[in-house]
């Protein structure tokens, strides 16, 4: 019978050892999780960038629009006596709006693009 050398014995242990195979498989899985999480992080970062860009463009070009009619502002003075003889004058403003307001208008939407 031929005696096995150390390397042949180690080689047969590696081929037949379930523990070594499980450890190697687990190690490879852990190593391959690193690029998976890097890709997930990149996807998440680009999604966030997309939403912030949409929000930024919307805030500059497409927020709510307020249509207002004419406002008549009339200043008026009010006199009041303070303790003693001192008379104070304060100026206030009265604002008047129309009871009815009809506005005809056209909306001209346009598509805008944002460069790098």
Alpha-carbon gap, residue 108 to 112, rounded angstroms: 13
Give how many domains the chain has, as a whole number.
1
Q: Is residue 105 part of a domain?
A: no
Q: Is residue 1 part of a domain?
A: no
| pLDDT at residue 50 in the model | 92
Per 3-state DSSP, the chain is made up of helix, strand and coil in percentages (nearest 5) of: 45, 15, 35
pTM value is 0.44
- 13-54: per-residue pLDDT in tens? 888 889 889 999 999 999 999 999 999 999 999 999 999 988
Q: Is residue 50 part of a domain?
A: yes
Q: Is residue 110 part of a domain?
A: no
Q: What is the extent of the structural domain holding 34?
A: 6-63+70-96
């Amino acid at each position: 019978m031929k005696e096995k050398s150390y390397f042949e014995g180690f080689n047969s242990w590696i081929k037949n050892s379930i523990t070594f195979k499980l450890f190697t498989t687990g190690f490879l899985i852990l190593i391959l999780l690193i690029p998976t999480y890097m890709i997930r992080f990149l996807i998440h970062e680009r999604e966030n960038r997309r939403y912030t860009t949409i929000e930024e463009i919307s805030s500059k070009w497409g927020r709510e629009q307020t249509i207002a009619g004419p406002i008549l502002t009339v200043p008026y003075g009010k006199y009041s006596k303070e303790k003693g003889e001192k008379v104070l004058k304060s100026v206030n403003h009265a604002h008047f709006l129309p009871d009815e307001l009809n506005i005809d208008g056209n909306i001209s939407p346009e598509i805008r693009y944002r460069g790098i």
